[in-house]
């Protein structure tokens, strides 16, 4: 009887152990499923956040870059997340997110940032990902012989870098750093892939937006030029034989189209230049031009136009040789009128020079498009024909 009871107790214990094993397995399965479900929810939430920022700033990808690095660091439990752009030659830092703002200003991080822009090398994971065009996952930096000392100074012990590809071309890298060895899990690397896809979309969207804006700007500029042409033709028709109103209107239109502070128009009779119109200049400069009819010295813009230049664009007049040697007209336009940046275009009738339009900015700011001034200057043919 006793043996039978012992056997029954043993059997009950085995059954309880099996039940406990099954319960533990089921519990672990539910925990894993709940964890996976939670990761998916966080992942989807991050994706929605990124899409919202993309919609809010279609022409500026920087907020998207900053959000992606922040979310990638948080969701992958990384110490640092970095996003880098690659222009085909150099690697540029686009965004770095750390656990605290103070971590961005440590000596090691500052030294790291000073290394960029730089060509891709195998000293850092970013360079290896670009050169190899594949994910690079270093689980223990201490045993990697190629890692640069300035990377070790960051306290990095494991790292993963994902190359960003667009049409088979590497345009950047997104990477994660951790201060503990062991690396990142497969699910974290997969999540990094998704963030990488979003970066590529953000860059492409911003480029498309900028191209659209440029086209819109070009169309607007063409419309403004056509409007100026129509207005100028009205002036010509209303004052046949009287060129002064035409000269003044040409100068006004050129200044408006180019967005400048002041300018003047000189005619050319085949031998000498003559002041035909002045706009926006101080009285002291008007007095100078009245007392000193244009006699342009070497390296001046009218003489360059006379020599056949299609236009002359000078970013900083005070840095020119003509200013250094005190050419009178150059000194006057800089010191008296306050000019910094200049654009000079010819007034041509076929191949004959009829004069020049000179427009100026009072700050050093280059002109981005000379087409408008060139086009409006060519209209003098209508006024003198």
Answer whether 168's CB lies under 8 Å from 191's CB: no
Q: Is residue 17 part of a domain?
A: no
Residues 6+ away with beta carbon under 8 Å from 377: 250, 254, 345, 346, 347, 348, 357
Window from 170-179, 186-195, 264-273 with minimum mean pLDDT: 186-195
What pLDDT is stored for residue 333 in this prediction? 92
- Nearest CA to 340 among 358, 363, 320, 321? 363
Phi-psi region of 312 (alpha: psi -120 to 50; beta: other; left: phi over 0): beta
What pLDDT is stored for residue 353 in this prediction? 86
Let me know whether 247 and 327 are in one domain: yes
80-130 pLDDT tens trace: 999 999 999 999 999 999 988 888 888 888 888 888 999 999 988 899 999
Window from 103-107, 212-216, 233-237, 364-368 with minimum mean pLDDT: 233-237
What pLDDT is stored for residue 363 in this prediction? 92
184 pLDDT higher than 80: yes
Tell me the residue range of the domain where 175 lies. Answer: 57-209
24 compared with 250, residue with greater pLDDT: 250
pLDDT tier at 149 (50, 70, 90 boundaries)? confident
Domain count, the chain: 2
Spatial separation of the C-alpha atoms in residues 146 and 148, rounded to whole Å: 6
CA distance to 307, 338, 373, per residue, from 182 (Å): 70, 64, 63
Average pLDDT over every residue of 64-90: 88
40-56 pLDDT tens trace: 555 555 556 655 665 66
Let me know whether 254 and 163 are in one domain: no
CA distance to 1, 65, 195, 202, per residue, from 56 (Å): 82, 13, 18, 12
What pLDDT is stored for residue 25 in this prediction? 65
Q: Is residue 10 part of a domain?
A: no
Other C-beta atoms within 10 Å of 333: how many? 26
H/E stretch holding 319 reads none
Let me know whether 186 and 249 are in one domain: no
Q: Is residue 374 part of a domain?
A: yes
Q: Is residue 139 part of a domain?
A: yes
Q: Which two tokens stand for residue 25?
A: 């397995």
Task: Tell me, rounded to whole angstroms, the distance of Cα 229 from its chain centroid.
Answer: 34
DSSP letter for 281, please: -
Q: Is residue 51 part of a domain?
A: no
Let me know whether 197 and 302 are in one domain: no
Window from 50-54, 57-61, 188-192, 355-359 with minimum mean pLDDT: 50-54
The mean of the pLDDT values for the chain is 78
Let me know whether 332 and 378 are in one domain: yes
Let me know whether 167 and 277 are in one domain: no
Let me know whether 249 and 338 are in one domain: yes
Highest mean pLDDT among 19-23, 41-45, 144-148, 320-324: 320-324
CA distance to 294, 310, 312, 353, per residue, from 306 (Å): 14, 10, 11, 7
Let me know whether 204 and 248 are in one domain: no
What percent of the chain has pLDDT above 90? 23
Let me know whether 265 and 123 are in one domain: no
What pLDDT is stored for residue 381 in this prediction? 40
């Amino acid at each position: 009887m006793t043996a039978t009871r012992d056997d029954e107790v043993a059997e009950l214990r085995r059954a309880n152990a099996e039940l406990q094993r099954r319960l533990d397995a089921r519990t672990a399965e539910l925990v894993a499923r709940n964890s996976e479900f939670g990761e998916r929810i966080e992942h989807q939430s991050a994706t929605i956040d990124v899409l919202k920022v993309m919609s809010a700033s279609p022409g500026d990808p920087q907020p998207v870059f900053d959000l992606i690095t922040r979310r990638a660091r948080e969701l992958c439990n990384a110490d640092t997340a970095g996003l880098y752009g690659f222009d085909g030659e150099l690697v540029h830092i686009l965004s770095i997110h750390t656990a605290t703002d103070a971590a961005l200003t440590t000596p090691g991080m500052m030294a790291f940032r000073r290394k960029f822009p730089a060509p891709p090398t195998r000293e850092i994971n970013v360079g290896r990902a670009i050169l190899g065009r594949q994910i690079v996952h270093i689980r223990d930096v201490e045993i990697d012989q190629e890692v640069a000392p300035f990377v070790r100074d960051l306290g990095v012990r494991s790292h993963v870098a994902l190359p960003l590809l667009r049409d088979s071309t590497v345009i950047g890298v997104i990477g994660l750093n951790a201060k503990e060895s062991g690396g990142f899990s497969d699910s974290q690397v997969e999540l990094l892939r998704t963030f990488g896809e979003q970066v590529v979309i953000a860059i492409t969207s911003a480029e498309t937006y900028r191209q659209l804006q440029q086209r819109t700007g070009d169309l607007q500029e063409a419309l403004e030029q056509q409007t100026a042409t129509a207005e100028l033709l009205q002036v010509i028709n209303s004052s046949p034989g009287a060129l002064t109103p035409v000269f003044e209107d040409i100068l006004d239109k050129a200044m408006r189209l180019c967005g400048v502070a002041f300018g003047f128009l000189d005619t050319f009779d085949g031998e000498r230049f003559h002041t035909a119109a002045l706009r926006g200049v101080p009285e002291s400069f008007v007095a100078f031009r009245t007392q000193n009819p244009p006699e342009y010295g070497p390296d001046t813009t009218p003489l360059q136009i006379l020599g056949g230049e299609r236009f002359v664009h000078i970013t900083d007049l005070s840095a020119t040789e003509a200013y250094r040697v005190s050419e009178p007209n150059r000194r006057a336009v800089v010191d008296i009128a306050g000019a910094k940046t200049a654009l000079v275009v010819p007034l041509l009738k076929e191949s004959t020079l009829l004069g020049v339009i000179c427009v100026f900015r009072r700050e050093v700011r280059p002109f981005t498009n000379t087409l408008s001034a060139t086009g409006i200057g060519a209209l003098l043919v209508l006024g003198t024909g």
